[in-house]
Structure 1
Amino acid sequence: MRKLLGTSTFALVSVLAQAQTDSTDTGKLSFSGYLDSYYLTALNRPQSGNLLGVDQLAGRAFDRMADQFALGLVQAKLAYSNRKSDVVVDLTFGPNADLGNFGNSGGALNLYRPRSPYSAALYGTAAAIKQAYFTYRLTPKLGVTVGQFGTHIGYEVIDAPLNYNYSLSNLFNNGPFYHVGLKVNYAFTPTTSLMLGVVNNWDNLTDDNKQKSLIGQLSFKPVPTWTVYLNWIGGRDDTYLAGLVQAGTLPKLFDDYYRNLFDLTTNYQVTPKFYLGLNAAYGRYGFNPNTSDETMALQERFGSDTPDWGGVALYSNYALNDLVGVGVRYEYFTDKNKVRYLQTSVNSLTVTAPVTLAAGKLQVKPEFRFDTAPGRYFENKFGRGTKSQTTLGVAFIYKY
């Protein structure tokens, strides 16, 4: 009895000591952000003045305005962290913020988005929220995150200072941008961790159809300069095909489906100056036809009863000195079944030569990009299709 009492007393003292530690752990608050703008010209001189392509699809989802100065995005980010928790409130404004919040606000891409059965007022101030989440660490190795957070899928992010190239890849443009939900991360070792979660589908502030998606990521570092991420999202329904069914563009048959997206992202710092990266993704839809006629309808619409999409992007960059570097990205992306936003196959070559000024705060990014696609996808000066698009531009990014 005395031993039990002593053990209980010790446990109580430990809990009280932990509580006292937590109560005095004031943590740290930080504020950061950036703003970016750009100017570019297209040698194919699109009649519409934008780079969306002849059918006004998402050929160039973000830096789409030609022959004019354009604002990209303005970010204001608050972060608080203490020993047991973190919270992030990431607010963005401007044209790219609207596009990055696809699902929360209006815009060209939202032509494909099903309308929420809830209140339209939900998309007012919500359009400014890029991320808003907290993480609580149950143990030093186990953390739980709840809220709206950027997707784990892909190599690039919407934050211009974090990408070497300014224009975004088609892999980024056609993948999910963000999720709302819950995820759990466990660190097996300092170099290996696993994330699993459940979210409101793809790019959905509200769960329009009560169909959740599952997400996962396994990350590991074979060596200190090499990191590998294996990513996945799977579930029923999504914002694209569901929107077409709801709009009446597709028959009700196409509303019963599931889809999976598998993604590999890896980066390797070969030397202090030379860097390599790779992103590869494959997505596939699966339908549930009940008759041969329904199977035929799927094949007629998509060219397959299991339509898919995917691509690969290779990245390399070299630091010439502390101020100037040069980076090359080659990408192939295919949406031959027309189940995502590109609806064609594109080869892209991008060369960027960033100049870093003002003690690292200012980035000036001259950039050349060449895209080619079959079927005269891009737009010429007469408003007709052409097989290629060449752009020259420069981006100005200031981070604080």
Structure 2
Amino acid sequence: MFKKFNMSLAAAFFTLIGLGSVQVSYAEDAKAPKWYDTVNVSGFVDGYYSYNMNGPQSHKNAFHNFDFVSNDFNVSLVELNIVKPVDETNRAGFYIGLAFGEAADAVACAGTIPCPATNLESTYKNFRQAYASMLLMPGLQLDFGKFVTQHGSEVIESKDNWNYTRSILFAWAIPYYHTGARLTYTLNDQLTLMGDVVNGWNSTVETNNGKTYGIQAMVTPVKSLPIIINYMTGPEIIAGTVSDTKSLLDVVVTYNVTDSISLMANYDDGIQKQGLGVGAGDAKWSGYALYGKYAITPSMAIVARVEQLDDKDGFATATNLGTGGQKLKEGTLTLEHSAPGGCLVRLDLRQDKSDQDVFTKEDGTPTSTQNTVTLGVVHTF
């Protein structure tokens, strides 16, 4: 009897151990993340209505970027981002940014809407970014593929800028994207260095035998004062199969004065060798943009932007090439409201002014000034 009792007790003991092992195994399986658990999905829908007080018959806002059409409701950009970030646990990742709308076509085909199938970049127009990432060692990340440019104080997505309408410098002084390899090394909280080798400006398909090289230093001497310095140089096609060096210096300084007041400045200086034609002179452009932002409440803000682009040879804006170019200025006042549920509403009051008559009135008369009112609505998810 005692023997049977001991055997029963032993059986119960091992059964409990077995059940415990199964439970531990189940717990471990539950804790082990699947590959898709580390993937983030997000996106937005961006629409706008713009009114041009000049009333041009073309219904176009001259020298604007992404708010191209006046007196019309438009979907500027619809974006879906699928991202697997890298970290110490997951050293391999990727970024797939899908883009649709006027802005996607404009980025791929240098402002041409719709982007024609004959343009080599049209094949990739719906991939705003598409690259693989690898963490080679702590702080050192390699990206390979198509990615947005490192230059400028503004980006393609309006929601990530301070104003709704894009600056002149964003539209005309810098590239949109690059395709190649990018190496980023974060030394500490004060210094991050980046270098890339790419096909060139806005090129997924290489158009010459050379490569463009870029370097960047992101310096934060104090937490409230991030400074970003970029330099890029490499050959670009100037005519037919002839190419020559195109270089760009870009500096962005941001100063967060208080929790509610921020200032930002952007400077660009570019040159295209033989930009005025094969055997002719070089084309140069330079400009600055100044920003001020005041957060009235956590959901409301007011932003002012003033800027100037000195396109002295007419190369950057394709205006009066080699015959004086133009000096283009603009001032924008933005009223912002962040509504509950991920809806961002902005109203831009903007004036563009040139030292040349590059704008058009309703009767076709040239003029040097253009006033616009633009309402932008972005819903994120």
Query: Shared fold (TM-score greater than 0.5)?
Result: yes
Are residues 282 and 32 of structure 1, via their aligned partners in 2, closer, same or farther at CA, if it must alter by over 3 Å?
Answer: same
Of the structure 1 ranges 146-155 and 187-196, higher mean CA displacement relative to structure 2 is found in 187-196
Are residues 236 and 124 of structure 1, via their aligned partners in 2, closer, same or farther at CA, if it must alter by over 3 Å?
Answer: closer
**Aligned equivalent of 2:97, options 73, 78, 90:** 90
Are residues 347 and 41 of structure 1, via their aligned partners in 2, closer, same or farther at CA, if it must alter by over 3 Å?
Answer: same
Find the counterpart in structure 2 of residue 237 from structure 1.
Answer: 236
d(CA) in 1 for partners of 2:44, 2:115: 26
Amino acid aligned to 2:212: S
Amino acid aligned to 2:378: I
Local SS of the residue matching 2:207: coil
Find the counterpart in structure 2 of residue 172 from structure 1.
Answer: 170
Find the counterpart in structure 2 of residue 398 from structure 1.
Answer: 379
- Contact persistence 1:219–1:229 (CA under 8 A): yes
Amino acid aligned to 1:159: E
**Aligned equivalent of 2:314, options 327, 338, 341:** 338
d(CA) in 1 for partners of 2:156, 2:351: 21
Are residues 123 and 306 of structure 1, via their aligned partners in 2, closer, same or farther at CA, if it must alter by over 3 Å?
Answer: closer
Does residue 160 of structure 2 align to residue 187 of structure 1? no
- Contact persistence 1:25–1:82 (CA under 8 A): no
Deviations 1:308-367 (A, max 9, x none): 0010000111011122110000010121201123532111000001111024x0011111
Amino acid aligned to 1:321: T
Find the counterpart in structure 1 of residue 49 from structure 2.
Answer: 39
Amino acid aligned to 1:91: L
d(CA) in 1 for partners of 2:245, 2:119: 29
Are residues 288 and 133 of structure 1, via their aligned partners in 2, closer, same or farther at CA, if it must alter by over 3 Å?
Answer: closer
d(CA) in 2 for partners of 1:60, 1:36: 16
**Aligned equivalent of 1:259, options 243, 246, 250:** 246
1:2-81 mapped onto 2 (5 Å cutoff): 26=35, 28-52=38-62, 59-81=63-85
Local SS of the residue matching 1:237: strand
Cα RMSD (Å):
2.4
Unaligned runs of 5+ in 2: 1-31, 320-325
CA shift for structure 1 position 392: 1.1
d(CA) in 1 for partners of 2:122, 2:220: 41
Find the counterpart in structure 1 of residue 336 from structure 2.
Answer: 354
d(CA) in 2 for partners of 1:393, 1:93: 21
* TM superposition outliers: structure 1 runs of 4+ over 2 Å: 23-27, 108-111, 119-125, 285-289, 341-344
Higher relative contact order (CA 8 A, sep 6+): 1
TM-score (norm 2): 0.83
Does residue 88 of structure 2 align to residue 101 of structure 1? no
- Contact persistence 1:378–1:385 (CA under 8 A): yes
1:88-237 mapped onto 2 (5 Å cutoff): 88-102=95-109, 107=112, 123=121, 125-174=123-172, 175-237=174-236
Are residues 135 and 176 of structure 1, via their aligned partners in 2, closer, same or farther at CA, if it must alter by over 3 Å?
Answer: same
Larger Rg computed on CA atoms = 2
Find the counterpart in structure 2 of residue 329 from structure 1.
Answer: 305
Find the counterpart in structure 1 of residue 272 from structure 2.
Answer: 285
Does residue 316 of structure 2 align to residue 311 of structure 1? no
Local SS of the residue matching 2:106: helix
- Contact persistence 1:181–1:197 (CA under 8 A): yes
CA shift for structure 1 position 306: 2.8
- Contact persistence 2:274–2:283 (CA under 8 A): no
Local SS of the residue matching 1:100: helix
Amino acid aligned to 1:107: T
d(CA) in 2 for partners of 1:273, 1:159: 22
Deviations 1:273-315 (A, max 9, x none): 00111110000123499xxxx99x62xxxxxx23200100001
d(CA) in 1 for partners of 2:334, 2:33: 48
Find the counterpart in structure 2 of residue 16 from structure 1.
Answer: none
Deviations 1:9-68 (A, max 9, x none): xxxxxxxxxxxxxx978461111011111111111111211112xxxxxx1132011111
Local SS of the residue matching 2:227: strand
- Contact persistence 1:142–1:184 (CA under 8 A): yes
TM-score (norm 1): 0.80
Deviations 1:106-145 (A, max 9, x none): 826989xxxxxxx959655522100001221111121111
- Contact persistence 1:37–1:396 (CA under 8 A): yes
Count of aligned pairs between the two proteins? 339
- Contact persistence 2:108–2:121 (CA under 8 A): no
- Contact persistence 1:329–1:350 (CA under 8 A): yes
CA shift for structure 1 position 156: 0.2
Are residues 316 and 92 of structure 1, via their aligned partners in 2, closer, same or farther at CA, if it must alter by over 3 Å?
Answer: same
